[in-house]
């Protein structure tokens, strides 16, 4: 797992963010070894153990997982789910003001977006793939955080590892359409072909929302074999982007 530097909020809480890698889990084969997704064909027992280790090692009260569908629905949660609870259905973002509750989004090329307002004590996580990012899942998450008391000029964002604009090749028509909805996302790959840089588009989108405190994990999931990549491997696991409030 890799962890960003925690924020030091006025509320006495800290915002913590972690991005997992492939290492340290119980999954085998295509999913080796710290796969956190229940929906990719991995052994459910291995996923349960991996998720349990995540909660224990991060010292969380519990972790919220989503059944992601590349949409814009945001869930607001207040209490930790049971370890065997189903993932929240048809949801790609989640927010909370509850300390110790980990919000997890899963990815294997899409952008895990981890948000936090250290003054209000509100955090959020969004799964921003091509479709969801273009449709507005991140603005939806920001609005849901505001409903809990967050302010845009206090929100800090980490854009996690994802397929980079030099690797993410798409048809020219798709690049044009996505860039129309998410300006700044059009790119060219190393081969000179049409591509997408979703993190670049999300940065421009966030700045347009008035969210200016933005950091990025520069790793490309296709290039870094310590990370899962659906585009590189096809059948594979999912890494987790985790954010939570720590009042310790």
Helix (H) or strand (E) holding 138: helix 137-147
Q: How far is it, in rounded angstroms, from Cα 124 to Cα 132?
A: 16
Q: Could you tell me if 38 and 238 are in contact, meaning their C-beta atoms sit under 8 angstroms apart? A: no
Quick count: other Cβ atoms within 10 Å of Cβ 52? 13
Quick count: other Cβ atoms within 10 Å of Cβ 179? 18
Could you state, in order of their start, the residue ranges of all structural domains in the chain?
2-246
Q: Could you tell me if 35 and 28 are in contact, meaning their C-beta atoms sit under 8 angstroms apart? A: no
Residues 6+ positions from 241 with CB-CB distance below 8 Å: 17, 18, 19, 20, 104, 105, 106, 107, 112, 113, 114, 125, 158, 160
Q: How far is CA 187 from CA 120, 194, 248, in A?
A: 36, 6, 42
Quick count: other Cβ atoms within 10 Å of Cβ 6? 14
pLDDT of residue 6: 46
Residues 6+ positions from 233 with CB-CB distance below 8 Å: 30
pLDDT of residue 5: 43
Report whether CATH 3.60.140.10 matches the domain 2-246: yes
pLDDT of residue 248: 57
Helix (H) or strand (E) holding 180: helix 172-181
pTM over 0.85: yes
Q: Could you tell me if 27 and 237 are in contact, meaning their C-beta atoms sit under 8 angstroms apart? A: yes
pLDDT-flagged residues of the chain (< 50)? 4-10
Sheet with 93-96: strands ordered across: 74-76, 93-96, 122-128, 111-117, 156-159, 213-216
Separation of CA 49 from chain center: 21
Q: Could you tell me if 147 and 76 are in contact, meaning their C-beta atoms sit under 8 angstroms apart? A: yes
Q: How far is it, in rounded angstroms, from Cα 46 to Cα 232?
A: 23
Quick count: other Cβ atoms within 10 Å of Cβ 16? 24
Model pLDDT for residues 24-69, shown as the tens digit of each residue = 999 999 999 999 999 999 999 999 999 999 999 999 999 999 999 9
pLDDT of residue 247: 73
């Amino acid at each position: 797992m890799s962890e960003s530097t925690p924020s030091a909020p006025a509320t006495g809480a800290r915002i913590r963010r972690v991005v997992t890698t492939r290492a340290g889990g119980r999954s085998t084969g295509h999913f080796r070894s710290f796969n956190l997704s229940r929906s990719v064909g991995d052994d459910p027992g291995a996923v349960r153990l991996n998720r349990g280790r995540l909660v224990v090692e991060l010292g969380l009260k519990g972790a919220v997982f989503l059944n992601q569908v590349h949409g814009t629905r945001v869930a607001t949660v207040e209490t930790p789910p049971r370890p065997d609870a189903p993932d929240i259905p048809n949801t790609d973002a989640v927010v909370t003001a509850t300390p110790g509750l980990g919000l997890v989004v899963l990815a294997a090329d899409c952008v895990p977006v981890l948000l936090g307002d250290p003054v209000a004590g509100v955090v959020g996580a969004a799964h921003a793939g091509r479709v969801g990012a273009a449709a507005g899942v991140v603005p939806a998450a920001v609005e849901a955080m505001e409903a809990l008391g967050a302010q845009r000029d206090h929100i800090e964002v980490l854009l996690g590892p994802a397929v980079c604009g030099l690797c993410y090749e798409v048809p020219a028509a798709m690049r044009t359409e996505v860039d129309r909805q998410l300006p700044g996302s059009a790119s060219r790959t190393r081969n000179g072909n049409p591509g997408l840089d979703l993190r670049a588009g999300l940065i421009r989108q966030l700045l347009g929302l008035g969210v200016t405190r933005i950091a990025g994990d520069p790793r490309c999931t296709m290039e870094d074999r310590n990370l899962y990549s659906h585009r590189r491997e096809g059948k594979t696991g999912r890494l987790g982007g985790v954010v939570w409030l720590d009042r310790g």
